């Protein structure tokens, strides 16, 4: 992979010699004479490393570094003369990855650039792994929906927001009908296929503000901010109908369908989380009592 370097220096001799050397050892190099030109170039051409002098006409290199680190995901190395009144600490505070005194040996510059690129790669990989771990901590591995831990965290946030802004907030709780019988008949691996398919269908029915959860073993929940009870029921019926249309084949030549029961409710003014969930659960229980494969709401 060829890395791209942008040199920013109003000393043409330094700029040209550094540019020539870095090009010779296979970097892709651009060079400009001011911080203003550098920012203009970065609008259309992202680079891996900006190598900038500190002392320049107009904006200095430290201010350029600060702006770059605020706007872009790239590394900045700053250069200054031996007698310049700047320190490594000042450079690092603005976001610089390295600090070089002029004059420097070109071989040293190459080594410094390679180190900065290597550390940047490690940092990006570390951040990627952290995000992946955070995602795994709040996601159900089987259905890829959010898990129950995230459900209780999010419903608390949404109810508090509702209390502040008096917006609508609705909740659906869904339960697979006769799922124990399906598992006992066809085995847990086939049951897992049902759970995965239902997770996929629920997720496909979500609008941008809705969040779906695997609430329990065969139970799912959907939080619907900015949504009144009537609108929530529309979403619930859409999910129920699509799941009812899905055909499973637990063994060759055997076709099975699945139904779900749903409870729906809208948060009442001043209601706490426990009551909100309990009312929705009670609505789900009435769906079960009424023959399953239906939606019951609590208003």
Give catalytic residues, as residue numbers. 218
CA–CA separation, 263 and 99 (whole Å): 62
The residue assigned the tokens 């159900």 is 140
First to last CA, the chain: 61
- Give the C-alpha separation, 202 to 213, whole Å: 9
Say if CB 168 and CB 228 are below 8 A apart: yes
Burial degree of 34 (CB within 10 A; 0-12, 13-18, 19+): middle
Report the half-sphere exposure of 180 (CA within 13 A, side-chain side). Answer: 0
Torsions phi, psi for 98 (to 5 deg): -160, 165
Instruction: Find residue 260's DSSP bridge partners.
Output: 176
Asked whether the CA dihedral 107, 108, 111, 117 is positive or negative, the reply is negative
Neighbours of 237 (CB within 10 A): 14
CA proximity to 285, closest of 177, 128, 194 = 177
CA gap 197, 185 in Å, rounded: 18
Residue pointed to by tokens 């190099």: 29
């Amino acid at each position: 992979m060829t890395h791209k370097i942008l040199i920013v220096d109003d000393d043409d001799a330094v700029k040209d010699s550094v540019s020539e050397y870095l090009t010779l050892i296979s970097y892709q190099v651009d060079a400009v004479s001011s911080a203003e030109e550098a920012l203009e170039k970065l609008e259309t051409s992202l680079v891996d490393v900006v190598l900038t002098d500190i002392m320049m006409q107009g904006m200095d290199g430290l201010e350029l570094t600060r702006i770059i680190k605020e706007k872009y995901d790239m590394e900045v190395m700053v250069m200054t003369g031996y007698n310049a009144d700047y320190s490594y600490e000042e450079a690092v505070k603005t976001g610089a990855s390295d600090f070089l005194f002029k004059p420097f040996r070109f071989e040293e510059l190459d080594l410094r650039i390679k180190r900065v690129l290597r550390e940047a790669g490690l940092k990006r990989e570390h951040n990627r792994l952290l995000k992946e771990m955070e995602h795994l901590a709040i996601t159900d591995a089987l259905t890829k929906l959010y898990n129950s831990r995230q459900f209780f965290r999010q419903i608390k946030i949404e109810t508090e927001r509702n209390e502040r802004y008096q917006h609508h907030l609705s909740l659906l709780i869904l339960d697979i009908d006769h799922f124990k019988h399906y598992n006992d008949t066809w085995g847990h691996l086939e049951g897992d296929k049902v759970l995965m398919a239902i997770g996929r269908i629920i997720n496909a029915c979500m609008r941008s503000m809705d969040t779906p959860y695997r609430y329990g073993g065969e139970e799912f929940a959907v939080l619907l901010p900015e949504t009144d009870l009537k609108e929530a029921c529309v979403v619930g019926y859409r999910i129920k109908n699509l799941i009812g249309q899905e055909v499973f084949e637990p063994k060759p030549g055997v076709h099975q369908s699945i139904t779900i029961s749903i409870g729906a409710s809208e948060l009442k003014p001043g209601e706490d989380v426990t009551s909100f969930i309990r009312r929705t659960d009670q609505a789900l229980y009435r769906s079960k009592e009424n023959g399953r494969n239906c939606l019951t709401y609590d208003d």
